[in-house]
Structure 1
Amino acid sequence: MPKTRVEAFTDAVIAIVMTLMVLELHIPVTDGWDALLSQSHKLIIYLISFINLAIYWNNHHHMFQLAKTVNGSILWLNNWFIFAISLFPFATSWLSEFPTSQAPEMTYGTIVLFANLAYLFLAKGLIKGNGPHSLIAQRLKDNWKPIASVSLNVFALILGYFLAPIAVLIINILILIMWIVPEKKVEEHYQHT
């Protein structure tokens, strides 16, 4: 089964999700700088979510470039990934209204965990579907980032629940920093082709 429709569909969904998030940003109630500054936490949380989605898109793109084929199982794993991504506007909007409250922080962290789990299982599904000797299997072998991300997400949720809700957002920012640079083995492949 060709993979191009899966890639195009995922690209479209991520673009729509990014657009929906920006529509949740409302103009300040007055024309002064202080009104803009009062909205700064909303802009920061939007930026964090936008970067998160951009990183998912970049890595999804690289991963699918390595894959040769998809099957029904991979389609469902990709749909899980898309579903998780589609929850970002809701979580971002709620968190931007109540950035230090436990329920919005925990919800945001849970959605990020859900998306990271979906990405991890999608990668494993692509490796299985393309075979143990495929290019994707070779390049993603020993890829520690998805497992580290899920582990850090769980740690963030525990800290956020028992200590300070803001820990969820802080640890998720650290995860983003880890993912800013795409997987080196994948990048190396494209530098040599």
Structure 2
Amino acid sequence: MAHYHRIAGQELGRLAALSDGIFAVAMTLLILELKVPAERAWDERALWQPGAVEQEEPVAHVLTHVGPEFAVCFLGFLTLGMFWLGQQTQLSRIERSDRTFAWIHLMFLFGVSVMPFATGLMTAFTSSRLALLVYWADLLFLGLAQLAGLRYAELAGLLKADTTTEDLRAIRRRIAVVQALYAGAVLLAVFSTYVSIGVIILLQINSALSPRIRPLNRF
């Protein structure tokens, strides 16, 4: 007799499709956190007309106000992009799924869904160390969920036959190194949250460029 729990969650393609959809929505929600303050009515003038340059001052003020918020949203987008790439790499080594692996992956997607909230909190309270800790907690949760999924897939025999020990070691090393760097960046909030945010942004940019930079390409 077949049992439901033995046949549930086996469609890996549906899991990947759900993941792409959630990542897409989360990335879109990030930019919706940016709000343009209401300003007075705008009268268009030619550049050579009197007061044309001064008329641009409200826009310059808005851009200055939104600048830090945009940086945080950019950080959130880079973060989701990096985790999406990591998730795709992990799924590419999986031959099939089962119910437990599907639930582990759903927990990972929960962390992805929380990212717009964590980013929005840090956007609203950029100088708050607690807001930064909430953001970092989500990063840590995502990393641990990835490790849990990989470990379970290995123990349950869900990996592709051509997946080597070196492949698994490389994925684990990547996750561990990135999480350690995140923790180090968050510790810099002792001095300033802006320093922490700046360092995390640099880490995310490095994640995209590191394949071409030595010795960073070793991770």
Coarse TM-score class (shorter-chain normalised): 0.7 to 0.9
Q: How many residues in Structure 1 have an aligned counterpart in Structure 2?
A: 183
* Structure 2 CA distance for partners of 1:96 and 1:119, relative to 1, 3 Å: same
Q: How does 1:43-192 map to 2 (within 5 A)?
A: 43-130=70-157, 134-138=161-165, 140-143=167-170, 144-160=173-189, 162-180=190-208
Q: Is the 8 A contact 1:127 1:136 kept in 2?
A: no
| Percent identity for Structure 1 against Structure 2 | 20
Q: Which amino acid aligns with 1:34?
A: H
Q: Is the 8 A contact 1:145 1:179 kept in 2?
A: no
| Inter-partner Cα distance in structure 2 for 1:84 and 1:168 | 21
> How far 1:158 moved relative to its partner?
4.1
* Deviation per residue, 1:47-91 (Å, 9 max, x gap): 111011111112212221221111222112101111111111111
> How far 1:131 moved relative to its partner?
5.6
Report the RMSD for the aligned CA atoms in angstroms: 2.6
1:5 aligns with 2:5: no
Q: Is the 8 A contact 2:95 2:159 kept in 1?
A: no
Residue 70 of structure 1 aligns to a residue in which SS?
coil
| Inter-partner Cα distance in structure 2 for 1:59 and 1:101 | 29
| Inter-partner Cα distance in structure 1 for 2:99 and 2:211 | 26
The ranges of structure 1 where at least 4 consecutive aligned residues each deviate by more than 6 angstroms after the TM superposition are none
> How far 1:19 moved relative to its partner?
1.8
Q: Is the 8 A contact 2:76 2:119 kept in 1?
A: yes
Residue 69 of structure 1 aligns to a residue in which SS?
coil
> How far 1:45 moved relative to its partner?
0.7
> How far 1:167 moved relative to its partner?
4.8
Q: Which amino acid aligns with 2:174?
A: K
> How far 1:171 moved relative to its partner?
4.3
| Inter-partner Cα distance in structure 2 for 1:132 and 1:7 | 15
Q: Which runs of 5+ in 1 are unaligned?
A: 185-193
Residue 68 of structure 1 aligns to a residue in which SS?
coil
Q: Which amino acid aligns with 2:94?
A: A
1:33 aligns with 2:42: no
| Inter-partner Cα distance in structure 2 for 1:122 and 1:82 | 12
| Inter-partner Cα distance in structure 2 for 1:87 and 1:101 | 18
Matching residue of 1:18: 27
Q: Which amino acid aligns with 1:63?
A: Q
| Inter-partner Cα distance in structure 2 for 1:68 and 1:16 | 27
| Inter-partner Cα distance in structure 2 for 1:172 and 1:77 | 26
* Structure 2 CA distance for partners of 1:157 and 1:51, relative to 1, 3 Å: closer
Residue 169 of structure 2 aligns to a residue in which SS?
coil
Q: Is the 8 A contact 2:97 2:158 kept in 1?
A: no
